[in-house]
Each structure stands twice: as C-alpha cells, then as structure tokens.
Amino acid sequence: MTEEPTARAELLAALEGTLELLQRDGGIQADESADEPGLPLPSLLAQCADRVAALEAAPARPVRTLHHMACTGGTLIAKALAAMPNTVMMSEIDPLSTLHLRAPRPPFLPTDLIAGLRYSPRGIGEETIQRMFGAALSALHDDLGARGLTLVLRDHAHSQFCTHQNRHARPTLYRMVADILPVRAVVTVRHPLDSFLSLRNNKWLHFEPATFEEYCLRYSDFLDAHAGLPLWQYEAFVADPAGVLQEICAALDLSFSPGFEALLPLMALSGDSGRSGTMISSRPRRAVPGDLQDSLTTSAAYARLCERLEYPA
C-alpha cells in the first residue's frame, strides 16, 4: 500500500534515465514515432508507462472479515475458510478488546504493543490504538498481497457486545477496517438459545444482568451494527457444508476448493470452544435448565430475535 507505487515509480525513472543516456550518446534517436520497428526502447517505455498507470488506477484489494457472536459455530466456519487456497485467517481479532487483560500482574505478551500499553500507568487512548491497528493491518495486507495471499480477519464480537464495554460507544471491527481499506464481509449466526446455552456452559456470561433476555438484546445490537452484510445460518452450513461455504466464498471473493473437510484438523484457530471434533454434523441441543424454561415464552427480545433470524422460537 505504501511501497508498491514507489517501486513502480523508481522502475519507470530508471528506464527513462537509460533512454536519455542512449539518446545523448547517439545510440538511439529521439523520435515521435516511438512504435516504429527500429525504435524498441521508446515503445517499451510507453508500454511500461501504460502498465504503471493501469496499476495505480486499479482499486485497492479488500480485506475480508468474518463476524459472529461467541458460541455460534464460528470457529468451524473460520477453519473451513482458512482451508481455502492462498487464504490467511487471523482468528478472534478486536484491537479494542480488554477481555484478555489480567490484573494486577501483566501476562507475558512480548509481541503485543497494544496490550503492553494497556498496562502502562500513563494510559493509552483508543484513537492511538486504532491508529496502531491500522498501521499494522496495512503492512500485513500489503505483504500478503505481494505474495498472492488473501487476508481474512475473524472478529471477536463477544468483546464488544457481551462484556462490560459500552458496545454503543466504540466502533466495530468492521468499521475500523473499513476506515482503512476496502472490506468484503459476511455474518454468520446460530439459534440464540443454542448459543446462550453454550455460553452459559462455558461460563462466558461476561455481562450484567446475565439473563437470556439481556443476551437476546445484545445479539440484536450485534445484528444492527452489521446490518446490510450478507448473513448465513450455522445450521444451514452444517446441513450443506460445501454448498454454503461456496456461497460465503463468493460473497468474500475467495477461491473455493472442494474437499476442504479433510484439511480441517490442520487448521488450528483460537476460540475452539465447542464440543470437540472437526466433523461437520448437527449436534443435539443441550438440556434447557428449568430456570430458563419460562424465558422461552416470556422474553419479548427472544421472540423478536428468532423472527428476525428466521428461527423457530
């Protein structure tokens, strides 16, 4: 993003310098008819100039992003995308998350400048964090692009929508990336009852009040923040993995490769919190505790959410 235009300009300048030397020493005569057979260098120079102009006019390559709530089958879908050709998946990314921080003793994070500054008594502003993230993202995006690789960022939306953070007062990962580079993004969802039961089983109810009603309200806020993005149900993916993944790849403009299921055990990603295994198959719903039974019929937020996502309540 920063080095490629400079390199092209330097190459063009070098060719122009060579042409000037040849003309000055009599090796070639300057002429308006640059495309005549006896004058190959001016013709080559014109072609190079055209290629440079075309490259500089081409739109920037997009970053791909994948968004979902915790315990919604996102890791399995992310692993499937990571198995696609020339794809680099970075899992559970949110530069504004504080969920991983531990007090009072800082953990060992030698490569994480943002976390290191979070522990500084001098403090760090979130605008600075976003600039640091943007600089790192741009460098990574340029490097991978030069090698023909595609970057996919898997969001950690739980940090924003299901913790003590004010979810309305900060930008989403999608917005932070879109402020820097073009983005192609998709959202995946799962039946909210199943994801809540899994959250509760993992003891990840990091919000207050830790009720099903509150969770459904936060899930709806997540959907509002990503309104307009193409959306797929996890249950549809489980029922037809290849078909749905091919649709997701098309939305993200990624190459699709069949037979990805055999590669899933090789894809190690953070956030693999579900019931173990890489077999893509439906699982029975966890038992619904007695204290949650009433919420299924009394929660207005749950009824609206199921209707919005086209799930049975």
Q: Write out pLDDT tens, residues 212-269.
A: 999 999 999 999 999 999 999 999 999 999 999 999 999 999 999 999 999 999 998 8
Give the pLDDT of residue 24.
Answer: 61
Between CA 198 and CA 205, with CA 203 as vertex, the angle to 5 degrees is: 85
Task: Judge whether residue 18 has pLDDT over 70.
Answer: no
Task: Judge whether residue 39 has pLDDT over 50.
Answer: no
Q: Which of 21-25, 96-100, 303-307 has the highest mean pLDDT?
A: 303-307
How is residue 135 written in tokens? 């600089």
Give the pLDDT of residue 283.
Answer: 85
Mean pLDDT of 202-206: 95
90-114: pLDDT as tens digits: 999 999 999 888 767 788 889 999 9
Beta bridge partners of 232: 188
Give the pLDDT of residue 25.
Answer: 57
The residue assigned the tokens 């037979």 is 259
Q: 28: pLDDT confidence band, cut at 50, 70 and 90?
A: very low
CA distances, 49 to each of 11, 18, 20, 290 (Å): 10, 15, 16, 72
Which CATH class name applies to 63-92+128-309? Answer: alpha beta
- Provide Rg for the chain, Cα atoms: 26
Task: Judge whether residue 14 has pLDDT over 90.
Answer: no
